[in-house]
Structure 1
C-alpha cells in the first residue's frame, strides 16, 4: 500500500510539472504571440469598436489579471503590438467588447503593451 501511495504522489507531481509548461498558443491556438495576431488579424493599429458581435472581427473581455494581451490606447502611430488607436473609419480591426464568450482577454495599460511569451 505504501508503494502505491509513493507511486501515486510521484506520478501526480510529474503531471503537474509538465501540465504547467503549456504556453498560451496551446490554450488558444488562434493566438500567435510571435506575430501579435489572432486568427490572422493583427492586434495593433486602428480599431473600431462595434455595437453588435456580428459586426466584429474579434470579441474581447476587459480583465484586470491574466490577459492574453495588454493594450495601450494611443492617439496616433499604433504600429507596435498592443497599441490601439480608436477610430470611426478606416479601421484595421473591428472589436466588440463583451463579458461572455470572448475570443481574447485584454488589460488596458499605460505602458508596456503587448503579449507576454
Structure 2
C-alpha cells in the first residue's frame, strides 16, 4: 500500500435504512512481508477520517449527510498481535470522536500465510 494507494477508499456503502455510511478499506498484505504495513494501515484510516471530517464525502455522496460513519477494514490475512493492539486503540480513539471502526476478514475467513 504505497503512495496514491494510501489515499484511496476501496468502497463506500450507504445504507439509508440503518443510517450508516461505511467506508471500506481492503488490506491485501501479509503481516510478514512489509515492515511499513501498520503505518500504511494507519495512513489509510487517517485519510478516510479526513475525507469525512473535511466534508468532502458530503460533496461526493450528498445522501451520506447525517448518517453514522463507519470505517471498516477487510483483511485478507489475520492481523497479528501488534496490529490487534493498534486496532483496539484506534477503535477507542475513533469511538471517542463519534465514529466507528470495525474490521474482519475479506470473505468468510482469513487466508493462510502458507497460501502465498
Bucket of the pairwise TM-score, normalised by the shorter protein: under 0.3
Q: Could you tell me the TM-score, scaled by structure 2's length? A: 0.25
Identify the structure with the greater helix proportion.
Answer: 2
**Which structure: greater strand fraction?**
1
Task: State the TM-score, normalizing by the size of structure 1.
Answer: 0.25
Greater C-alpha radius of gyration = 1
